[in-house]
Copies of this chain bind each other. A is one copy, B any other.
Amino acid sequence: MSLVTQQSDPTGLHRVVDDRPVLPQAAERLDTRRELWPDEVRVRVERLNLDAASFRQLEQEHGGDGAAVRDAVLGIVAARGKMQNPVTGSGGMLIGTVEEVGPASPLGLVPGQRIATLVSLTLTPLLITDGLARWDGRSEQVPCDGHAVLFGRSIAAPLPEDLPDALSLAVMDVCGAPALTERVVRGYDRPTVAVVGGAGKSGSLSLVAARAAGAGRTIGVVPTRAEAEVLTRAGIADAVAVADARDPVALRAAVGEAGGPADVTVVCVDVPGCEGGAVLATRDGGTVVFFSMATSFSAAALGAEGLAADVTMLVGNGYVPGHAELALDLLRRTPALRALFEQRVGG
């Protein structure tokens, strides 16, 4: 049984060709036909940015043989109609130019626009037509010709002309964190905001977003003195604290000494075991936002209950309307933040 139907669905269900009714991200295979359903957009692809974990896995599997890595990516995309590493489950994003816009597309795109897709490659129909001939298989940046399809509920953002692509992509990659941080911070009156992992990409953006949204005090928590120096020099946090976020007692103490407990705690470090400390660092009535994919749902739920902590805990949704524009704007308006990002992307 094929689920391809005449009617399109904003989630892209109509392009799933699996036997089971699953969403495109969970699908084994997507339909990559050029012809658009009325609410779709076709993009001429210029470059794929593979997810770092995915690229690392492929590189290791093939012992660093670039040609073999290239063949593996070509094989995956040919078999699945999307770039989703079957081992890591992850994809990446792409850059391209809008080629055709269906009459019912709600995305507001126009042909000729250069865009980045902000939904994952794991759910984006993709057809490669150049055999990735310009890629040596040795970097996550993949020059590519072909087409991709965006659905009614996809997300894409125009690439700013005033910023280098690499810088824009680095910001867009984590733009959900500052957007949700801003929204949560606005729900409090001049709150104290602690960002765990404050020197990283999503963390530094979240610190700047918190301040812009009216935080009374921002605290950046980092694991090492070296990172503390970088963050202190950047001046984007009112206080900088050094603590191992996996040690709940140390995290509570560090945030406390820096002016806490926090009304809002934002967790941006990709290490497991930070749930208890984040809860303990937050005052009753406060909110913890978990952006780390290493977060354990049950550790957060049972941890807060075990501490009788009346805190609201949010799953960090990577999508908030306007998130890319907000994050790019924070970068433009904050030279120290831009400098941090430029160091990271080598820009």
- Known pairs A13-B249, A295-B297, A296-B297. 17 more at Cβ < 8 A? A21-B247, A21-B249, A23-B280, A23-B303, A119-B305, A155-B308, A301-B316, A302-B318, A304-B315, A308-B319, A310-B317, A310-B319, A312-B314, A313-B314, A313-B315, A314-B314, A314-B315
Q: Which residue of B lies closest to A119 (CB)?
A: B306
- A24 B306 Cβ-Cβ under 8 A: yes
* A250 (CB) vs chain B CBs: closest residue: B21
Within 8 A of B (CB), among A152-180: 153-155, 176
| Bound Cα distance from A24 to B249, whole angstroms | 11
In contact, A276 and B23 (Cβ under 8 angstroms): yes
In chain B, what residue has the closest Cβ to A13? B249
A320 vs B311: C-alpha distance when bound (angstroms): 8
Q: Decide: A123 near B306, CB < 8 A? Known: A21-B249, A23-B276, A313-B314.
A: yes
6 inter-chain pairs at a CB distance below 8 angstroms, sorted by A residue, are A13-B249, A23-B248, A23-B306, A120-B305, A155-B308, A293-B298
Give the complex CA separation of A310 and B319 in angstroms.
6
As for how many copies of this chain the complex holds, the number is 2
Tell me the complex Cα distance, A340–B154, Å.
43
Q: Is the CB of A218 closer than 8 A to any CB of chain B? A: no
User: A295–B295 Cα gap in the complex (Å)?
Assistant: 12
Q: Which residues of B contact A154 (CB under 8 A)?
A: 308
Q: Is A206 part of the binding interface, using a Cβ–Cβ cutoff of 8 Å?
A: no
Which 9 residue pairs across A and B have the least CB separation, nearest first? A305-B318, A313-B315, A153-B308, A304-B317, A297-B297, A295-B297, A305-B319, A21-B249, A155-B308
Most chain B CB within 10 A, of A293, A300, A319, is at A319
Residues of A in contact with B (beta carbons under 8 Å apart): 11, 13, 21-26, 119-120, 122-123, 153-155, 176, 247-250, 276, 280, 290, 293, 295-298, 300-321
Given the complex, which residues of B lie within 8 Å of A297, measured CB to CB?
290, 293, 295-297, 300, 315
B306 touches A122 (CB 8 A): yes
| CA A296 to CA B314, docked complex, whole Å | 13
**Which chain B residue has the least Cβ–Cβ distance from A184?**
B312
The answer to whether B301 touches A315, judged by C-beta atoms less than 8 angstroms apart, is yes
- Given the known A-B contacts A153-B307, A303-B25, A306-B123, are A290 and B319 also in contact in the complex, defined by CB atoms under 8 Å? no
Could you tell me the distance in whole angstroms from the C-beta of A145 to the nearest C-beta in chain B? 25
**Interface contact B120-A306, CB-CB below 8 Å:** yes
Query: Cβ of A23: which chain B residues have Cβ within 8 Å of it?
Result: 248-249, 276, 280, 303, 306-307
Cross-chain contact A25 with B314 (CB below 8 angstroms): no
Which B residues are in CB contact (< 8 Å) with A298? 293
Question: Hey, which chain B residues are within 8 Å of A290, CB to CB?
Answer: 297, 315
* Contacting pair A301 B317 (CB below 8 A): yes
Bound CA–CA A155/B296 (angstroms): 23
Contact partners of A153 in chain B: CB under 8 A: 307-309
**Chain B hits for A295, CB < 8 A:** 297
> A54: shortest Cβ distance to chain B, in Å?
14
Q: Which of A21, A307, A320 gathers the greatest number of chain B CB atoms within 10 Å?
A: A307
Please name all residues of chain B whose beta carbon is closer than 8 Å to the beta carbon of A123 when the two chains form the complex: 306
Query: Is the beta-carbon distance between A311 and B317 smaller than 8 angstroms?
Result: yes
Residues of B within 8 A of A119 (CB): 305-306, 308
Inter-chain contacts of A314 with B (CB < 8 A): 312-315
Q: Which of these, B11, B309, B315, contacts A280 with CB under 8 Å?
A: B11
